[in-house]
């Protein structure tokens, strides 16, 4: 049996902490351009109650997605004690390319993966760098792609990165802008012939009919900017879609793994919204007719990190492995699920044995 195993992780978590009070001077508008007359303090308090977010991280001006991705990758490479020249593939998930400041042009050529390969100084011409644009589930999709390459013998060592500068695509007249943040996470995925640890199976779902514009690019809510520069979403539709489909996708993936639900140690969910993630995990267990959740089943970092899109799961995993999230600890042999949902609309999930 050949499985792909995460042998190390790395992360770049920006040091600039942006508390909710940062937005107190903002004037918010609804998507239809109507001024929200409720005091900004009340808007922010309601936002925190719904999302659980107290602060988020923004990268300093001039630091791009490829810069952050390269820093996360370096940490993962050092921890893995692998020769960078032995890496067969560099797969990078992002959605907006490199942007040096708010409103900067989106630099997508050459690929972010190619830039990271350059920043890492890798000269191996057989090392293939490429990008994945897949919404927030991008890093998981990159992990799935790397796993497939390893299983068919096309690669033995892959560097998988999720990196995002969402602070560069925010409309500050849109209250949803308070959700988003910056960051990067990475891992080294390697062929494992020694035991059955690693990726057991995966599942991907894509809905692109009415769901295509649930998360999109658009102008400012107050109408002063017409170009489609900013990240936008129909929050209620995203919430309803996630609650309806993500628990079912997770269950289908987990059931196909052959593992028992009683053996599930932890679920790593995309950090989109605290209340949404809590509702997803409850609905997932309800599908097994389990109403009381196991202890320490759902690690979360969104309260202090915000939603960094493709970077949320790899940075969360990195923090758990470092012991930064208290009682959340992974031991050899633990069975976990990683699952995400985002623009597309796309959903994916992985069952993994640690």
Q: Are strands 215-218 and 230-233 parallel, antiparallel or unpaired?
A: antiparallel
Token readout for 315 is 């940075």
**All structural domains of the chain:** 3-192 (3.40.47.10), 198-353 (3.40.47.10)
Distance CA 219, CA 111 (A): 25
What average pLDDT does the chain have? 94
Mean pLDDT computed over 60-88 = 97
Mean pLDDT computed over 248-252 = 98
Distance CA 334, CA 301 (A): 21
Of the segments 75-79, 151-155, 169-173, which one has the largest average pLDDT value?
A: 75-79
Token readout for 346 is 């796309």
Residue 39 has pLDDT above 80, yes or no: yes
274, 284, 280, 339: which is closest to 141 by C-alpha?
A: 339
Q: What is the pLDDT of residue 336?
A: 98
CB 159 within 8 A of CB 76: yes
Predicted confidence (pLDDT) per residue in 215-236, tens digit? 988 888 887 765 558 898 998 9
| Residue percentage of the chain with pLDDT more than 90 | 88
Residue 146 has pLDDT above 90, yes or no: yes
Predicted confidence (pLDDT) per residue in 89-105, tens digit? 999 999 999 999 887 88
Predicted confidence (pLDDT) per residue in 199-218, tens digit? 999 999 999 999 999 998 88
79, 87, 94, 97: which is closest to 120 by C-alpha?
A: 87
Distance CA 135, CA 137 (A): 6
Q: What are phi and psi of 117, to 5 degrees?
A: -60, -40
The answer to whether the pTM exceeds 0.85 is yes
Residue 240 DSSP SS3 = helix
Predicted confidence (pLDDT) per residue in 281-290, tens digit? 999 999 999 9
Distance CA 200, CA 202 (A): 7
Mean pLDDT computed over 284-308 = 96
């Amino acid at each position: 049996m050949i499985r792909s195993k995460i042998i190390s992780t790395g992360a770049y978590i920006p040091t600039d902490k942006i508390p909710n009070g940062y937005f107190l001077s903002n004037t918010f508008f609804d998507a239809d351009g109507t001024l929200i007359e409720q005091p900004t303090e009340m808007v922010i308090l309601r936002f925190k109650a719904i999302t659980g977010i107290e602060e988020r991280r923004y990268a300093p001006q001039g630091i791009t997605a490829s810069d952050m991705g390269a820093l996360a990758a370096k940490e993962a490479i050092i921890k893995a004690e692998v020769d960078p020249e032995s890496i067969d593939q560099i797969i990078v998930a992002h959605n907006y390319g490199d942007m040096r400041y708010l409103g900067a042009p989106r630099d997508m050529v050459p690929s972010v993966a190619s830039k990271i390969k350059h920043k890492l100084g890798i000269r191996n011409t057989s090392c293939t760098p490429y990008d994945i644009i897949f919404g927030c589930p991008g890093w998981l999709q990159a992990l799935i792609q790397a796993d497939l390459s390893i299983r068919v013998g096309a690669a033995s060592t892959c560097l998988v990165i999720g990196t995002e500068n969402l602070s560069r695509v925010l409309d500050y007249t849109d209250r949803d802008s308070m959700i988003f943040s910056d960051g990067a996470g990475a891992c080294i995925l390697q062929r494992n012939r020694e035991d059955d640890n690693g990726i057991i199976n995966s599942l991907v779902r894509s809905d692109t009919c009415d769901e295509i514009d649930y998360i999109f690019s658009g102008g400012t809510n107050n109408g002063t900017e017409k170009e489609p520069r900013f990240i936008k979403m129909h929050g209620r539709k995203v919430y309803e879609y996630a609650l309806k489909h993500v628990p079912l996708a997770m269950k289908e993936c987990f059931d196909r793994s052959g593992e028992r639900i009683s053996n599930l140690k932890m679920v790593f969910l995309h950090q989109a919204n605290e209340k949404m993630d809590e509702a997803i995990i409850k609905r997932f267990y309800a599908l097994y007719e389990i109403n009381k959740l196991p202890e320490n089943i759902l690690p979360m970092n969104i309260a202090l990190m915000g939603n960094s899109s493709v970077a949320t799961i790899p940075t969360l995993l990195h923090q758990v492995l470092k012991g930064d999230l208290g009682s959340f600890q992974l031991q050899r042999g633990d069975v976990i699920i990683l699952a995400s949902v985002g623009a597309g609309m796309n959903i994916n999930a992985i069952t993994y044995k640690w």
